[in-house]
Amino acid sequence: MGFSETSLSLFLFFILFSSSYATSRITHQQRFPSTTKFSPNQRAEKLIKSFNLFPKEPVNIIHGDYSFVDHFVPGKIVEKKFSFFGDSDEPSVDDLGHHAGYYSLSKSARMFYFFFESRNGTKDAPVVIWLTGGPGCSSELALFYENGPFKINNDLSLSWNDYGWDKGSNIIFVDQPIGTGFSYSSNDNDIPHDETGVSNDLYDFLQEFFKQHPEYVKNDFYITGESYAGHYVPALASRVHRGNKDNKGIIINLKGFAIGNGLTNPGIQYPAYTQFAFDNKLITKEDQTDINSLIPSCLDATKTCESEGGESCLTALNQCEQITSNILTIAGNINYYDIRKTCDGPLCYDFSNLETLLNKKTVRDALGVGNIEFVSCSKVVYNAMLQDWMRNLEVDIPSLLEDGIKVLIYAGEFDFICNWLGNSQWVHSMKWSGQKQFVASKTVQFLVDGRQAGLLNSYGPLSFLKVNGAGHLVPMDQPKAALQMLVNWIEGKLV
């Protein structure tokens, strides 16, 4: 078993913008069109191809004979221990504490997950759930390229990740929404279209997970994720907290949630793009002034989305993405997940080994997924969530803060698409009882090995961390700092 470092990069799936109207550098005299052609399928396909992913199916909706799942009972979990290491000298299946399973959401839908017990063998370590964004991308992308126990080598062998988050927690990676990764259904209606559906599915899964693993019920529980998980994470935190307050089912010991480079409050984050782009010399001051003329219509459309929902949210997305589209047309072929880098045509990262590995029959057999194909990113799920995109998920966070739930918002400094500036602005403008103290808090250094690894503001249960030397994918770009961040935050030492 080789233990060389993988040269592959990891992403964190997110938005691909329409660029259908801007084909040359914007001049001060140019008039901006009121709308940009909106092509959801084109946007989703561009997202998937940018990661060098080519799933065989657009979504995991199954047809035909899948009799191997007939024994699944709605509301129940079927789980098995597994090892990726075969007959090697690595620890045994029982010693590893690695689990893979399906939760039956209904008669037709199954949600797939990985569960890794703490590598340190600490049974009272907190339980962490990780949610990948997209929307519609598998959490296995993070598992194998960011913060899971393994890295994929070029020859498809696996190496231990020295900074996997299983070193500081018992961690769950879930393929969701339904249709993503190994999660599947025989009914299109099982694919959620909003955060109510997403959070209810995940809450039901967690209830059954803790029922099957009662030894972890009393452990502290944290919700984490990146990118579009800036929607998923606060929605799930609110759902868990509400269930606890209503004394429904198993009380989940929710202590906090963390969002990395997320999209949480579009009404604040979209207008921040031009300042970030100017500060980082992606556009000129004249460009910034011109593109800023698009902000009022973006904000008006976003407000309409919040009040009316439905198709008005697609209009808001269309209006606001004119901002990013124009910036990226001027900036050229930069990697909008890490502006230090460029893309080779449509290719910004190469995650193709993940699809090859997880679609091997030996791997599928080890995981107990039968003939289910691995769908790395689903354009059908992506499109299903489009009316959710421009929703403001900040709105439920203040009440969680007031009840003492810890919140960490962190962002790599070189990400464009969910940049630190927009995230900092919505965090600082969020109204809660500690807002004034948080805004007035001293910015301090986040140190790793005695060196500055970021800049931190915190007050009470709220923390914001700007991470040095990282793009959209903080655990990939700064793995040691990301693990220390998680551990310090959980232990109340991120100060």
Q: Catalytic residue among 227, 238, 297, 463, which?
A: 227
DSSP β-bridge partners for residue 227? 262
Omega before 461 within 30 of 0, i.e. cis: no
Do the Cβ atoms of 418 and 269 come closer than 8 Å?
yes
Active site residue 472: yes
Q: Catalytic residue among 9, 166, 472, 477, which?
A: 472
How far is the C-alpha of 355 from the C-alpha of 375, rounded, in Å?
8
CB neighbour class for 336 (10 Å; exposed up to 12, middle 13-18, buried from 19): buried
Active site residue 287: no
> What Cα–Cα distance (Å) separates residue 418 from each residue in 93, 243, 263, 415, 461?
39, 30, 6, 6, 23
Q: Nearest to residue 162, comparing CAs of 154, 153, 151? A: 151
Do the Cβ atoms of 193 and 101 come closer than 8 Å?
no
CA atoms within 13 A on the CB side of 460: 16
CA pseudo-torsion sign 208, 211, 216, 217: positive
DSSP E strand boundaries for 240-331: 254-262
CB neighbour class for 113 (10 Å; exposed up to 12, middle 13-18, buried from 19): buried
What DSSP assignment string belongs to 184-245?
EES-GGGS--SHHHHHHHHHHHHHHHHHH-GGGTTS-EEEEEEETHHHHHHHHHHHHHHHHH
DSSP summary character for residue 31 = P
> What Cα–Cα distance (Å) separates residue 311 from each residue in 41, 149, 213?
16, 41, 42
Do the Cβ atoms of 430 and 28 come closer than 8 Å?
no
Task: Read off the tokens for 63.
Answer: 């047809």
Q: Catalytic residue among 18, 415, 424, 463, which?
A: 415
How far is the C-alpha of 266 from the C-alpha of 203, rounded, in Å?
25
Name every residue whose Cβ is closer than 8 Å to that of residue 117 and which is 6 or more positions away in sequence.
Answer: 96, 97, 98, 99, 166, 170
Active site residue 227: yes
Task: Read off the tokens for 192.
Answer: 């959620």
Q: Give the residue numbers marked as catalytic.
A: 227, 415, 472
